[in-house]
Chain A
């Protein structure tokens, strides 16, 4: 009791009190908990009071997905989790959630992709394992045959052990023998097809990023090994790759060219075309040969600095199309757990599905600081404690000059605003 009186007195006397607003977003019932599994808590938050959370009733082991305050999905389950896969949460979309629900007959599944429902789909499953990405591609069976729905387009993948797709084309192997090598793996005796055309039997090469093959508007290409030498085939035209296994580690095929990185720079078809003038962390090319690369904080196009983003801490997911349009993703110093996607100079902010717990932020002018750690029951702003629990996530809003954060206090999901 004495500690509550002290806390009350502290808050009243503290000049920060008037700057602080607290709002309960969601209150759990006594028998409810937020569902969390081994690696993630199924909870998503942003700085506009939007949130999503999966609730488990510990008595009935029933689950419900709460999206911006409304229950949008109910799932049966057991104490380990729901009989469903829930992913692709985007708080800024009206139906920003997808899930596959398993019925009692586990083979029959109901799919809901951002509000679009398909019921009774046999063996439906998401392609991506990751619950915090926006990849809604899924597989399913019809009449006992396997299909892939990729970006809304359907491909038959029955009998296809591995495959790559582009619009109407699918490059695939019907069977292979897996062979382990120290530097890379070989899919031995792969029966390779383009659509229904048999291309031959090859020992395909698989690096850490996947099988070294490509199918795009220029046709198909793939790398293979034969008699201890490596080769690349572009639409049936074969050339030998240089005898250096390192090139296979960071190797891309685009159009009718192949690229790889060695210590001195980027090679195009065995010719050095780009010396990196910085610590290169990621690169991309288009079929015209334009080279886009980053050191994580700056973006370069054919050696020219095209973007210097002082907010960026981690530029990644680069791509460049043949019209020169750039797209990339970056994280920001101003938000502990959001990321920004830039497509043709249009920027969109995303809240990561995952919450990180704890925070360390500064205002744009650098004069104000927020810090929180998981093991302290408060958040520190400019040297003073605020709130009653650590931040699950925090933001700085430069327009309103505010810090925002969310906490989990006594089974309440709480939203805090602190005006600077």
Chain B
């Protein structure tokens, strides 16, 4: 009978041999992500501390989006999408904004969850005032999304809510947990566990790119790189 390590080696051999790294195809983008992490390390650390995570874990969830931010040429186009969202309503909220590429529809869902989980509600004062009319609330949401500080707050809220939703899941490792969180960030945190794991086989990222990767694999690549990086002198 073949022993388990040998069996798994042969099972994984083709993957080990042929798997290509995001960093190889998107070196400029990968470097941009790493530089972003260094530049905003203090803010990321503060956010991570508030929710009991490491800054590497927190950043790796959004790192693929950050890395591609420079390549997305939608600065002008984005304004037209903002106009449709403000004037037309939540049906027009499916577009991405800012370094973390958060969608207004994602943020609306997040806000509704924060309202449900009362124990985290007090932390998030950035949620648009319910006394404002809906149009003004949508504008406020877009102002927030243009700010890195507010995006970090939304990311904190996302992590806290997902922690509550995954409290019964036994993750095999911190890396497994990261892949779950990254998939939830990219594919939607309302997906069930089975769907979430099935999304980890899908290679759609980046949207504008010849070579496609799984989003959570890219997150993990960042995570490993950030943990092994040498500390700046």
Contacts and interface: CB of A to CB of B under 8 A. Distances in A.
Contacts of B54: none
B81 A34 contact: no
Interface stretch (A108-116, A138-146, A353-361): A353-361
Interface residues of A, number: 28
A150 B76 CA distance: 31
Contacts of A58: 91
19 contacts: A33-B91, A33-B92, A36-B94, A36-B95, A39-B72, A39-B74, A39-B77, A40-B74, A41-B77, A180-B25, A182-B27, A357-B80, A358-B83, A374-B79, A375-B139, A390-B83, A392-B80, A392-B83, A408-B83
B78 interface: yes
A105 B82 CA distance: 36
A198 to B, nearest CB: 26
A6 interface: no
B77 A356 contact: yes
B132 to A, nearest CB: 14
B69 to A, nearest CB: 13
Given A36-B95, A375-B142, A41 B79 contact: no
A270 interface: no
Contacts, number: 78
Interface of B: 24-25, 27, 72, 74, 76-84, 86-88, 91-92, 94-96, 139, 142-143, 207-208
Nearest to A390: B83
A358 B143 CA distance: 16
Contacts of B79: 356-358, 374
Given A38-B207, A40-B77, A182-B27, A357 B83 contact: yes
Contact of A375 (B24, B86, B88, B91): B86
A40 B207 CA distance: 13
A4 interface: no
Interface string A369-396: 0000011000000000000011010000
Of the candidates B25, B91, B143, B207, the one having the most CB atoms from chain A within 10 angstroms of its own CB is B91
B83 A36 contact: no
Nearest to B87: A408
A357 B81 contact: yes
A374 B82 contact: yes
Contacts of A34: 84, 88, 92
A357 B86 CA distance: 12
Contacts of B91: 33, 58
A185 to B, nearest CB: 9
B215 to A, nearest CB: 14
| Top 7 A-B pairs, shortest CB-CB distance | A357-B79, A357-B80, A356-B76, A355-B80, A374-B79, A374-B82, A180-B24
A410 B84 CA distance: 10
Interface in A37-56: 37-41, 43
A180 B27 CA distance: 10
B54 to A, nearest CB: 30
A357 B81 CA distance: 8
Interface in A192-231: none
B36 to A, nearest CB: 21
Contacts of B82: 357, 374-375
Contacts of B83: 357-358, 374, 389-390, 392, 408
Given A38-B207, A357-B82, A375-B143, 5 more contacts: A38-B94, A58-B91, A354-B80, A374-B86, A411-B88
A39 to B, nearest CB: 5
Contacts of A307: none
A389 B87 contact: yes
Nearest to B139: A375
Nearest to A58: B91
A38 B95 contact: yes
B3 to A, nearest CB: 33
A129 B208 contact: yes
Contact of A408 (B77, B88, B96, B139): B88
A392 B77 CA distance: 10
A41 B80 contact: yes
A126 to B, nearest CB: 15
Contacts of B139: 375
Nearest to A39: B74
A133 interface: no
A336 to B, nearest CB: 9
Interface in A1-60: 33-34, 36-41, 43, 58
A409 interface: yes
Nearest to B207: A38
A374 B76 CA distance: 11
B80 to A, nearest CB: 3
Nearest to A411: B88
